[in-house]
A and B are shown apart, each in its own frame.
Chain A
């Protein structure tokens, strides 16, 4: 079996947002929507902190679909539009999506976005990878782990573009992969682990 995943080294993440725009570009994500964001933990501003000066700290966390082993979104999808594929990715069949947004409510990571209107693209044309399907009004979308790239042996665009080499992409079912070795380390952080969603995306502190 194959279980594709991304590990993100939080110490190497400088919160630069390159992965955010890389994802937006690759996947033709419209204005007002993002599949991938960078959050600054417990801060309202991007370069903010936790604590009181000078006893402060900052953690920036790139956040997209966690490609859970036990996806909450899939369980609530009434049409089977959200599914776990044979590469271990959580995907959406846009043709089956009826826009009920149950998945958005179920996802504890709040990483799914909905096309409330006809997509508003700036620039006003379909940019990104030609292989990525164009979504229409009324469907939910999110990180596909760059399905069109990873199906063809390429790494996800966020991994390709990360200037800090903070991201490691690979197969958790391959015990010799770099990502499997990282997963076995004791500095692994899983987001909202107690939710039981078993994210495949994980973070290194």
Chain B
């Protein structure tokens, strides 16, 4: 009992009907101190401890030990149940929760819009009024357009919390993606799903699904001799779990960081190689060129484990098969043919003992060539000199990188989810990463892997059970991708949105604001007044993960562990937990029986109905007894993927993409970024490349109102002195960042770590953090048709953006 109940709540609600600007309401009406003023009365002076996993999606999955005194959270430390420091951690953001939880910037009561959408004029209402308003609008929308016309959309952080409401409402949901899959779109089809391809019993669902996830988990990096990090700043973006990169370096790995800017990874690496933004695919193609020219490839791997020997019909571009071409929707038999040198005959690839990598064959009058010959021919038009010209990396350095990667004995390619992953040619980069693996066989061995590093997601991941809804209670799949809703005809008329996905998962944000403005009703569920809440008709105050009505507030399985979220304190102010909000709505719709009675019941269901044998015996009681963390049974073995086969139909690495024939990308071919290319004529008007990066003080849009983290950093852009001089700017000047999509105003700081010709900015700042507009007004929302044919579909090219900067 934290003392929030029965104190000044009644007094606070006297304020209902007060209309004013949001700032005055949120800050002026009450603050945490008032809400907590009677907290100590009747409290025991002793302390109690609870354990909980913190964030769902920042990648580190810190399990924290929280100490409460007089009902308030006063200490947040790493959970000492972990012996291994790789898992026992907290970061600057986790500790800042001491203030952030109690922030007077919290949404404290349900709020109803009274001004125009976007004006952020709200009035405080009761939960009863709020639920009545929500349900009235749900019924109105259902009657007019059907249940699917309601969108229930959650940010990455909130999605695991809202496992019930989309089904209860029959709402359209999911359809997000568009981010963190740029490279995976091009790499993962070559590898295929990893199920059954790991060397330990624990499955890892995400590998091969389109996320360019690392084929070996990061604990394996310590076995690498050479680690090439491209556009990755893991020391700040996934900071709690980045220490193993330094461990690998201490164990003798050479770390080479390729980045336009002098990132923290660049600062710690053995060498920093600056690169022109948007040219990572050229770097990889250049490396492939060197490896082929110098014959540094692994012929045995190429013959046994890749599609390089497959024969391709030079007329149709299709691979020669034993049977029919697989029809749409039918299983691909993986029956491609090769020329077996051992028998000098045409055989199925899995029956050849010495498949030919090269050579033209005429079979039944048709000319066939091997994938490898086509690949080599393809590379001939992309010599290392061309790669050097595009990337601005000297030829000798490109050659050195390629040779070191191919010959170290155990090399890892480590990418990030920022940088080139959010530029239109990212799929080509991902496809070329697969080519580098195909040439060198750097996969499935200790210290040999490839992928984006955002750990926490990359160890083992147990499958938990889920709540079983009664017959007919289910959500619908959103037919349009969320970030395409402002641009494509769709059936959505009302939205319930938890977390600021609209600002963070859509580019060209003014278009998203227009879309939000045009909806019949928008309900936001959030802890803070972020940017999308300005457009809500109703805001429901969510509790933080530290607050819950019941004893438990969640369970998750990540990185080889099952972790529990125990209650620390009661919901603060007049907030409710995400779980309670869902149950309340279900009950008011007469569907209380369709949802669990308590989070405890849901947790028990998730654990008891798990089909995963690696977590057998883990129960709520055993988790509580183990400070909320228990390892999967396979955790003692490092996870390595594609050890002896790939998840493709042929079980080989399939570099040749027949479905890309219409786009000329069946094998990776260089293509400049759609906007940020050096030769783009738009550069005459907007000469500066603009991209955002993940700050160590934020998780995208989270923590921008954290008073403790704002001690260190606020919103700004950074530029090189050359570009500041050219515009007569001084550090600290107020500037306008402009392109045809929009503009925003903030201050500019000089930072020589920034590449000339570039503007960079920490991602996720809220509209109120900058002086006018929004950083996301600038970003590129254009899509390429090619991407829609890849496994993850359209991507958002956030970082494929040009701007000009001028004194405000």
Contacts and interface: CB of A to CB of B under 8 A. Distances in A.
A24 B240 CA distance: 19
Nearest to A20: B92
A26 interface: yes
A38 to B, nearest CB: 8
Contact of B752 (A14, A20, A51, A127): A51
Contacts of B96: 21
Interface stretch (A82-90, A117-125, A178-186, A193-201): A117-125
Nearest to B760: A47
Given A18-B92, A51-B752, A52-B752, A25 B711 contact: no
B697 A17 contact: yes
A14 B264 contact: yes
A48 B751 contact: yes
Nearest to B32: A123
A110 B486 CA distance: 54
A47 B239 CA distance: 14
Contacts of B720: 53
B268 A17 contact: no
A52 B755 CA distance: 10
A34 B708 CA distance: 11
A18 B235 CA distance: 12
B72 A123 contact: yes
A99 B325 CA distance: 86
Contacts of A165: 85, 243
Contacts of A16: 91-92, 235-236, 239, 696
A164 B749 contact: no
A133 interface: no
A53 to B, nearest CB: 5
Contact of A49 (B74, B90, B246, B262): B262
A164 B696 contact: no
Contacts of A161: 77-78, 89-90, 95
Select the residue from A14, A48, A127, A163 with max chain B CB neighbours within 10 A. A163
Contacts of B74: 125-128, 130
B205 to A, nearest CB: 27
Contacts of A46: 712-713
B751 A45 contact: yes
Contacts of B91: 16, 18, 163
Given A25-B75, A127-B98, A163-B90, A14 B32 contact: no
A64 to B, nearest CB: 15
Interface stretch (A54-62, A100-108, A168-176): A54-62
Given A26-B75, A51-B752, A123-B32, A11 B246 contact: yes
A71 interface: no
Question: Does more than half of chain B's interface fall in helix, strand or loop, or is it mixed?
Answer: mixed
Contacts of B31: 124
B246 A56 contact: no
B119 interface: no
B698 to A, nearest CB: 12
A125 B236 contact: no
Contacts of A52: 721, 752
B713 A160 contact: no
B99 interface: yes
Interface in A32-81: 34, 44-49, 51-54, 56-58
A12 B239 contact: no
Interface string B722-765: 10000000010000000000000000011111111000000000
B95 A49 contact: no
Contacts of B753: 47-49, 53, 56, 58
SS class, residues of chain A in contact with chain B: loop
Contact of A11 (B32, B268, B718): B268
Contact of A25 (B76, B242, B243, B246): B76
A44 B751 CA distance: 9
A124 B74 CA distance: 11
A24 B100 CA distance: 14
A22 interface: yes
A51 B262 CA distance: 11
Nearest to B753: A49
A93 B618 CA distance: 50
Contact of A24 (B102, B264, B708): B708
A172 B713 CA distance: 36
A156 to B, nearest CB: 12
Contact of A127 (B75, B103, B709): B75
Interface string B74-110: 1111100000010001111001101101110000000
Interface string A124-162: 111111100000000000000000000000000100110
A154 to B, nearest CB: 10
Contacts of A48: 751-753
Interface size class of A (residues with CB under 8 A): 35 or more
B69 A15 contact: no
B243 A49 contact: no
A49 B72 contact: no
Contacts of B707: 31, 122
A124 B753 CA distance: 38
Contacts of B751: 45, 47-49
Contacts of B243: 12, 163-165
Contacts of B72: 123, 125, 127
Contacts of B697: 17
Nearest to B36: A125
A18 B697 CA distance: 9
B91 to A, nearest CB: 5
A21 B235 CA distance: 17
Contacts of A163: 89-91, 239-243
Nearest to B101: A123
Contacts of B47: 130
Contacts of A14: 235-236, 239, 242, 264, 268
Nearest to B70: A125
B267 A45 contact: no
B649 interface: no
Interface in B114-151: none
Nearest to A51: B752
B687 interface: no
A157 to B, nearest CB: 8
A48 B33 CA distance: 37
A19 B264 CA distance: 17
B92 A128 contact: no
Given A25-B76, A58-B267, A163-B243, A123 B236 contact: no
Contacts of A12: 243, 246
Given A11-B246, A49-B262, A125-B36, A160 B696 contact: no
Contacts of B36: 123-125
A17 B755 contact: no
A14 B102 CA distance: 29
Most buried by A among B103, B708, B721: B708
B409 interface: no
Most buried by B among A44, A48, A125, A128: A125
Interface in B61-76: 69-70, 72-76
Contacts of B317: none
A148 to B, nearest CB: 12
Contacts of B709: 21
20 contacts: A14-B235, A18-B91, A20-B712, A21-B95, A21-B709, A44-B731, A46-B713, A47-B718, A47-B751, A49-B752, A54-B262, A54-B272, A56-B753, A124-B36, A125-B39, A130-B74, A157-B77, A161-B89, A163-B91, A164-B246
Q: Which 5 A-B pairs have the closest CB atoms?
A: A123-B102, A124-B33, A14-B235, A21-B95, A127-B74
Interface of B: 31-33, 36, 39, 47, 69-70, 72-78, 85, 89-92, 95-96, 98-99, 101-103, 235-236, 239-243, 246, 262, 264, 267-268, 272, 274, 696-697, 707-709, 711-713, 718, 720-722, 731, 749-756
Given A20-B92, A52-B752, A53-B722, 14 more contacts: A14-B264, A16-B235, A16-B236, A18-B95, A21-B708, A31-B707, A45-B718, A45-B750, A46-B713, A53-B752, A56-B262, A123-B32, A128-B74, A161-B77
